[in-house]
Amino acid sequence: MMVRFTKRDSMRLIFFILSFFSFTSAVQVTFIVDMSEETVVAGEGNYPAVYVSGSNLNGPSGIEMTDNGDGTWELTTELQSGDYTYKFRNGYYDYWDGPGWEGDNGLIEGGCAVGEYFDRLVSVGNNDLVEGIYCFGSCDETCGGSSIEYTLIWNDEFDGNGAIDSSKWFHQTQLPNGYSWYNNEIQHYTNRLDNSYVSDGTLKIVAKKETYTDQGHTKEYTSARLNSKYAITYGKVEIRAKLPEGIGTWPAIWMLGQNISEPGAYWQTQGYGTTSWPYCGEIDIMEHWGANQNYVQSALHTPSSYGGTINHGGQYISSATTQFNIYTLEWTPEQMIFSVNDYIHYTYSPETQNSETWPFDSPQYLLINIAIEQSITSSFTETEMELDYVRIYEASTLSNQIENMPETFFLNQNYPNPFNPVTTLRYQLPNDEVVTITIYDMLGNVVKNLVKTKQSSGNQSVQWNATNNKGQPVSAGVYLYSIEAGELRHTKKMILLK
């Protein structure tokens, strides 16, 4: 396994390491292990404990980790730059080849074993890092079977220079209450290149101090607020971003229900606005307040808790405003997981899932903006949020998780949506039924009789190529697709772009 040392050898090694690195700076290294498939046994304190152990990580005794309460254990410690070999250990150390150590075979088969004793390896540089999550005794990131595989279905890499891609983004500029924005924000959002543009492979959202008059109201600050012209239900959202700084700035990457009734919002202008906030649901992937520099937070707003919601969690990112970091949401029918650089800081999984706690079974769209709070400092002049990419993925194994044996009739939102010229309609049948799927325009006229046949229970799908019953291409606009199966009927909207 690992190099063996006597107690005297260990003391000499520790003294040498301390002496050698006395003039170099240490960084924070966080180890995380998933113990959900293990029975954690008593450690040195006669209570259940897990350790990180290595020849240069306190020897075989190791360093005790902290139970996160969700099956994972975590340790953050300061390490100098260099390579460290280690293993996780369950319970008390007796001898090198005794019980409790991670098995060699699991690490060998997974391809993460290194060296003569088949240890894990972490290479520490000049920046803080997170090592894990790892399943105990395995190279897998999580325990409990295969990981979810994702397929990229929508993205913006922000290539080129100049204005944003108007086929993917909408500038939301209308003051929703007629004179101002919500949350006591004091800026105008504009569609000017001064406040949002693409250059050198990134999107810049720029907040400025300047006198600007729009819609009959003059304000002293401007910024930009983008709405995505794409909405999803379930999947993964990944954004690589560098955040602005300054007390009184409030950058956010977040989502709202496609059905929100909000004057001037993109989907409201497309006829989807039927539901008020918070009943539409809100998902805050990343929020950052300049008064609490480098603390990023994720939160959920639902009918059961909104505004000062109790559903939130966050973490400090020392490089939030100086380097790009990856902000991720993983959204399944059961939970939402929020992370930065794969380090999870919040999981939302309500014990009781209903319309009050989970308005998240319908499409949500992305928003990106920098708001200006009333606490903005007098010295503020300008700041920007920079995005390297926005990527949205579909969970390709999601059907295996929730749809193998449908218990209820369900019509998914078509994807992609908006689309041009082909989109896929997916639905689940709990029983064998005669299925009819029809496409209508917004006046209720039949555009396309897509399906009329008996189908077996299970997961079904069909594509529409934006043609009518005569095989002719139809014009851009909003369409309805309706499915009937026995006595059941369900209808949704979709948008065709040209």
Please state the pTM of the whole predicted model: 0.58
For residue 254, the cross-strand partners are: 284, 367
Distance CA 303, CA 178 (A): 25
Whole-angstrom Cα distance, residue 300 to residue 305?
8
Tokens of 123: 């290479």
pLDDT reported for residue 15: 43
Residues of the chain falling short of pLDDT 70: 1-25, 70, 94-98, 141-148, 396-408, 417
Q: Which of 66, 57, 115, 106 is nearest to 86 (CA)?
A: 57
Identity of residue 311: N
Measure the CA–CA gap between 61 and 101, rounded to whole angstroms: 11
Residue 147 pLDDT? 53
Asked if 35 contacts 73 with a C-beta cutoff of 8 angstroms, the reply is yes
Provide the pLDDT for residue 28: 87
The two structure tokens encoding residue 487: 């006595």
Classify the phi-psi angles of 251: left when phi > 0, otherwise alpha if psi is within -120 to 50, otherwise beta. beta
- Per-residue model confidence (pLDDT) at position 23: 43
Which domains are seen in the chain, by residue range?
7-135 (2.60.40.10), 151-395 (2.60.120.200), 404-496 (2.60.40.1930)
Residues assigned a catalytic role: 282, 287
Token pair for 12: 């000499």
Coil, strand or helix at 492: strand
pLDDT at 96: 61
CA distances (Å), origin 354, targets 93, 279, 303, 317, 387: 47, 12, 10, 34, 35
